[in-house]
Amino acid sequence: MKKWGFLLLLVICLSFVFVNKEWSIQNKVEVEGNEKNNIDPIDNSETSEGFQTIAITKEQIFQGNLLLVNSENPVHQESIKSDVVNLFMHRELTTGYGLLDNEIKLSKDVARKFSVMIAAAEKEGVRHFLINSGFRDFDEQNVLYQEMGSDYALPAGYSEHNLGLSLDVGSTLTKMEVAPEGQWLEDNAWKYGFILRYPKDKTEVTGIQYEPWHIRYVGLPHSAIMEEKNFALEEYLDYLKEEKKLSTSVNGEKYEIFYYPVKKNTDVLVPDNLRYEISGNNVDGVIVTVLPESTNTNLKRERMAK
């Protein structure tokens, strides 16, 4: 009897170790910087193999998911996401969460990614999410600013809500700072490409008070690196400018990130046969993100099908 009891205890212990090991692997982030960080990656012969050169215009500084919007860097017209929709009119995008009213708008792509994240939260028993605010055009932002004042709102063109990438998330239970939904987002949003844009410990960096409800889409691997290094967006973009090239692994998926300063028209390197994304920083350059092999396999299939 004692023998069977010992074996049962051993099985339970091994199961606990396996579960915890699996959790740590699923949330593993590894970042390698560029040792020669004073070298422009376009001049790096080791990097150039398998890449081609494309021209980047200055306008592209103001487009993409990594745009820095604050009191010094306003939203440009070309910065606004082109796929902004009224979520109430697209109920297929709102599964698993509620809307404060029927006028809330958001980038369609960001809404899809938010829905995926909310579905993951629901599997963990966290299911009382509510979107209180999403995209606002300049006129709507100006009205809010006039009504609320500078203590509670930002001028038109200086709010992330003018991009289509940000949203204010609430809980139908209680305030976000104490709600399970708020804690879940703080712990897990980065896994789905979202960040808590105005954290409690970064008010001096962002210039904005702590907002546990305001999340912003930046995409992977950027959200994972920011989580790993405890960066606000301002700090992360400065880090990219300093490093110029990063290799990072998120859950075993490898990404390459390159920063290029842009003055007028600039040539940058992009991969020949791999998926990549280009985003400006809304200041002085662009970031090229080379996506992992899993997405590139899909690209090869698409090309073979043509």
Give the active site residues.
Answer: 211
Ranges assigned E (strand) in the chain: 29-33, 51-56, 84-86, 97-99, 105-107, 129-133, 166-171, 194-196, 214-217, 245-250, 253-261, 266-271, 276-280, 285-290
Q: How many C-beta atoms lie closer than 10 Å to residue 48's C-beta?
A: 13
Helix (H, G, I), strand (E, B) or coil at 234: helix
Q: Rounded to 5, what percent of the chain is helix, strand, coil?
A: 40, 25, 35
Q: Which of 223, 203, 218 is nearest to 282 (CA)?
A: 218
CA distance 46 to 122: 45
Measured at the alpha carbon of residue 120, what is the angle toward residues 161 and 224, in degrees to the nearest 5? 60
Q: Residues 125-146, buried b or exposed e (16+ Cβ, 10 A)? A: ebbbbbbbbbbbeeebbeebbe
- CA 234 to the chain's CA centroid: 13
Q: Is the peptide bond before 221 cis (omega within 30 degrees of 0)?
A: yes
